[in-house]
């Protein structure tokens, strides 16, 4: 029979653990992120498989580490997209074949594609039972259902100290000085501060693209997770102490970069964001900046059109007046200036 439970799948005694992934090589949040920390070699192999185009929907990628078989199960093609029930159906068929061919005696799986994936657990459960009831006498199957309890928290201490780079130092410094402490729900402010760091540093140190809330860099999220892992690995209490420790590592490495200019750019970007209490305004300002950066010179009308073309959500969120007021704010605070051809970044 299939056993249903809740809790931490990573504590399961099952020989095979199913990890939900996408085909782009990004370990998402939640359980996938905990898998990344608990099984770092699996994560490397998974990323390499994605890079080579070997991981596809309907094909489960197996990897052995620390006496466990990790079944990397693609529930998404692209990491920002939702899961689809046909992805689950195709993947379950491949998982079943591989469990039998490798003579695996026990498997534990999460609620595939439910939760962050957006699928109905009722529908996913039906697919699991349709595919696995036929082998439930041969293999011990444990399925971890979605839990409504906020008390169940999965946190795995990294096995190795995360690697620290100059980018880690910059993000850690920003995190330590922002008024609103940056946790999972405040990553938007961290993103926008790093975007402003690029502006004040006069280099595209972090690579940004246009996204839902304006300029976005997935690298920032990865660096931020690295810092959290560093904090967890060394049991450091707060981010000020994390920054102190990272600073020592960077100085000991004798980084050749211009630390003084970096420190100045951090200060200017943090001070700028700390003076903006409204996340909506911060989104609008950074969106204007990236629109101007794209074409160098833009009129007020060009910028407004840029908002309207960005997305329906952004078009509804910001009125013409709000955008124009934000343009004036950027001009007043010397981020942009107006010339004969239109607005440009200072």
Strand partners, 64: 69
With 0-12 / 13-18 / 19 or more C-beta atoms within 10 angstroms meaning exposed / middle / buried, residue 109 is buried
Q: Where are the beta strands (DSSP E) in 171-234?
A: 209-211, 214-216
Catalytic residue check, 76: yes
Angle at 76 between CA 71 and CA 79, to 5 degrees: 110
Q: In the Cβ-directed half-sphere of 60, how many Cα atoms lie within 13 Å?
A: 25
The contacts of residue 315 (CB under 8 Å, 6+ apart) are 307, 308
DSSP secondary-structure letter at 195? H
Question: H-helix or E-strand containing 285?
Answer: helix 279-295
Rounded to an integer, what is the distance from CA 142 to the centroid of its chain? 28
Helix H or strand E segment including 166: helix 166-177
CA 10 vs CA 42, 107, 157, 298: distances in Å = 14, 12, 12, 52
The one catalytic residue in 68, 76, 173, 192 is 76
CA distance 114 to 236: 33
DSSP track, 72-137: EEE--SSTTSPP-HHHHHHHHHHHHHHHHHTT--EEEE--TTBGGG-B-HHHHHHHHHHHHGGGTT
* N-to-C CA span, the chain: 67
Tokens 């079943």 correspond to what residue?
96
Q: How distant, in Å, are the alpha carbons of 107, 115, 131, 147 from that of 121? A: 19, 8, 15, 11
Point out the residues that are catalytic: 76
């Amino acid at each position: 029979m299939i056993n249903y439970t809740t809790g931490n799948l990573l504590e399961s005694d099952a020989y095979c653990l199913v990890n939900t992934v996408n085909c782009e090589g990004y370990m998402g949040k939640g359980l996938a992120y905990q898998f990344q920390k608990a099984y770092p070699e699996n994560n490397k192999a998974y990323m390499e498989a994605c890079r080579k185009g070997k991981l596809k929907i309907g094909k489960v990628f197996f990897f052995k580490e620390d006496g466990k078989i990790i079944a990397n199960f693609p529930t998404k093609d692209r990491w920002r997209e939702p899961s689809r029930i046909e992805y689950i159906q195709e993947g379950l068929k491949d998982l079943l074949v591989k469990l039998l061919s490798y003579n695996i005696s026990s498997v534990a799986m999460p609620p595939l594609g439910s939760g962050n994936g957006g699928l109905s657990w009722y529908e996913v459960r039906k697919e699991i039972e349709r595919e696995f009831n036929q082998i439930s006498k041969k293999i011990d199957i444990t399925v971890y259902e979605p839990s409504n309890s906020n008390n169940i928290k999965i946190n795995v201490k990294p096995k190795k100290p995360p690697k620290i780079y100059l980018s880690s130092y910059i993000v850690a410094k920003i995190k330590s000085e922002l008024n609103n402490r940056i946790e999972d729900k405040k990553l938007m402010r961290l993103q926008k501060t790093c975007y402003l760091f690029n502006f004040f540093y006069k280099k595209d140190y972090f690579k940004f693209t246009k996204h839902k809330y304006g300029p976005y860099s997935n690298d920032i999220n990865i660096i931020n997770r690295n810092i959290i892992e560093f904090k967890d690995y060394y049991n450091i209490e707060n981010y000020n102490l994390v920054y102190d420790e990272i600073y020592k590592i960077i100085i000991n490495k004798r980084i050749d970069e211009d630390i003084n200019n970096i420190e100045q750019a951090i200060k200017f970007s943090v001070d700028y964001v700390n003076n903006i209490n409204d996340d909506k305004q911060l989104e609008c300002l950074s969106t204007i900046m990236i629109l101007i950066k794209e074409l160098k010179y833009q009129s007020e009308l060009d910028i407004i059109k840029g908002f309207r073309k960005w997305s329906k959500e952004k078009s509804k969120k910001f009125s013409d007046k709000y955008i124009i007021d934000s343009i004036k704010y950027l001009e007043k605070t010397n981020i942009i200036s107006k010339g004969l051809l239109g607005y440009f970044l200072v």
